[in-house]
């Protein structure tokens, strides 16, 4: 499945960021075929193995859970084929949120809404600088000097 998704991503990139409907459907068929193969390799839990008196859902393996999510959310998984601005991975989005979640986990919460806004503003500034190729140290040094990075120049001729 991993190799298939990487192949799809390469094909989408070669096509300019979006696949024609006929090509996308062919890739969807291959995706579904891989899911069927995985279903044979990792079958659902056997209901006959359930202990007597137990109720509720049967425990599934991590592989089975992933398989079911890939099947149930096929449209979301393959959205990058149809919509140009949807990236192949959400790594950048996850990275941008991770520090906020870590801070919440350590402290339990923010003490005030103003503190949360300040934290988010600083993280946003640092994330933007990193995306523009600037280190956090360099970005903070400019901030404390009262200067803006060159890419944040407010000259309207840039736009």
Interaxial angle between packed helices 21-41 and 62-72, expressed in degrees from 0 to 180 and rounded to the nearest 10: 150
pTM above 0.75, yes or no: no
Per-residue pLDDT tens for 91-148? 776 777 777 777 777 777 777 888 888 888 888 888 888 888 899 899 999 989 988 8
Per-residue pLDDT for 33 more than 90? yes
In sequence order, what are the residues at sequence separation of 6 or more whose Cβ sits closer than 8 angstroms to the Cβ of residue 120?
A: 100
| pLDDT mean across residues, the chain | 84
Residue 45: phi and psi, rounded to 5, are: -60, 145
Length, in residues, of the chain:
159
Asked if the model's pLDDT at residue 159 lies above 60, the reply is no
Look up residue 105 and give its two tokens.
């986990």
Backbone angles phi, psi at 121, to 5 degrees: -65, -45
């Amino acid at each position: 499945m991993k190799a298939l998704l990487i192949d799809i991503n390469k094909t989408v990139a070669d096509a300019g960021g979006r696949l024609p409907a006929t090509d996308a459907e062919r890739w969807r068929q291959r995706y579904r075929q891989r899911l069927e193969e995985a279903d044979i390799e990792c079958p659902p839990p056997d209901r006959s193995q359930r202990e007597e008196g137990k109720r509720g859902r049967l425990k599934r393996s991590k592989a089975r859970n992933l398989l079911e999510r890939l099947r149930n959310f096929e449209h979301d998984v393959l959205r990058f084929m149809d919509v140009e601005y949807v990236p192949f991975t959400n790594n950048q989005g996850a990275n941008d949120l991770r520090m906020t979640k870590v801070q919440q986990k350590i402290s339990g919460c923010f003490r005030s809404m103003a503190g949360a806004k300040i934290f988010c503003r600083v993280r946003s500034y640092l994330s933007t600088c990193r995306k523009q190729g600037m280190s956090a140290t360099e970005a903070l040094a400019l901030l404390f000097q009262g200067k803006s990075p060159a890419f944040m120049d407010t000259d309207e001729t840039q736009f």
